[in-house]
Amino acid sequence: MSLLKIEDLYASIGDEKILNGLSLEINAGETHAIMGPNGSGKSTLSYVLSGREDYDVTKGSVLLDKKELLDIEADERSKLGLFLAFQYPIELPGVTGMTFLRTIINSSRIAKNLPELEGIELVKLIRKKAAELEISQDMLKRFVNVGFSGGEKKRFEILQMALLDPKIAVLDETDSGLDVDALRIVGKGVTNLKSKDRGMLVITHYQRLLDHIIPDFVHIMVKGKIIQSGGPDLAKLVEKEGYKSFLNGN
């Protein structure tokens, strides 16, 4: 049974049609990669899945665990187990990393009918997960994403993912702005989060991220829909020949 089922999804901004009948199924335990040239609608897909309001969804359905996501707000989608790692994480001046993490962890625990975590227990949990991503205590005292380097921003995204423990994680261009070392840390962090209960959707322009997060399936997206699917080898083909051949094939 599929964990996430996207069916015939159409979305636009104003008159511009961006998603044009996209369908995709992800089962628990699977990692899927969507690759595509600039402007193919990759980031729009991540925003539409997570519930950003700027888009008009004109047709289609997105089921997470059989529940329709398109009918509910972004915060409800998160509470159902959807997570989006942002391509460009947003700055929250005044809100320290620690405060932010404490707030989202407890909000998610309340949604799951778990008791809120306080004090030392909470700090221990955060520190453990942070250490795995080589995030220092000092970084958690800084304001969320303010003055973070590209690598710090992405590691902080993955830390949130680790703490929220989502059923489906969508990673939007997680490799952008990363140097080689940061890419290795982030890749390892994400790979550690693979589990038989979780599905992942990795959205990327370049193949290099997929050396660190090995996908089970690779899909090529052009003009708002998937035009070809295959195994990891498909990504290697893109690396070698670019997107040209796929574009011509259309």
Partner 1 sequence: MPIQEETIEQVNLATSKYKYGFSTDLEVDKAPKGLDENIIKLISSKKNEPEWMLDWRLKAFEIWKKMKEPEWAKVNYSKIDYQDIYYYSAPKNTEKLKSLDEVDPELLKTYEKLGIPLNEQKALAGVAVDAVFDSVSVVTTFRKQLEEKGVIFCPISEAIKTHPELIKKYIGSVIPRHDNYFSALNSAVFTDGSFVYIPKGVKCPMELSTYFRINEKNTGQFERTLIIADDDSYVSYLEGCTAPQRDENQLHAAVVELITHDNAEIKYSTVQNWFPGDENGKGGIFNFVTKRGSCLGKNSKISWTQVETGSAVTWKYPSCILHGDNSVGEFYSVAITNNFQQADTGTKMIHLGKNTKSTIISKGISAGKSQNTYRGKVLMQPGAKNARNFTQCDSLLIGDKCGAHTIPYITSKNPSANIEHEATTSKISEDQLFYCLSRGLSEEEAVSLIVNGFCKEVMKELPMEFSVEAQKLIGISLEGSVG
Which residues of this chain interact with partner 1, rule CB under 8 A? 50-53, 73-75, 77-79, 83-84, 86, 89-96, 99-100, 103-104, 107-108, 111, 143, 160, 164
Q: In the chain, which ranges are continuous DSSP H helix?
A: 42-50, 74-80, 97-111, 119-132, 137-141, 150-164, 180-192, 232-241, 244-248
Least Å distance, CB 124 to partner 1, is 21
Report CA-CA distances (Å) from 158 to 16, 142, 151, 175, 221.
32, 17, 11, 12, 24
Provide the minimum distance between the beta carbon of 107 and partner 1 in the complex, in angstroms, as a whole number. 5
Task: Considering the complex, state which of residue 61 and residue 99 has its C-beta at the smaller distance from partner 1.
Answer: 99
Exposed / middle / buried, residue 40 (Cβ in 10 Å: 0-12, 13-18, 19+): buried
Cβ of residue 43: shortest distance to partner 1, in angstroms? 13
Of 210, 194, 207, 187, the closest CA to residue 134 belongs to 187
Q: How far is the CB of 237 from partner 1 (least distance, A)?
A: 33
| Closest among 191, 175, 189, 213 to 132, alpha carbons compared | 189
Which is closer to partner 1, CB of 40 or CB of 78?
Answer: 78
In the complex, least distance from residue 88 CB atom to partner 1, rounded to whole angstroms: 9
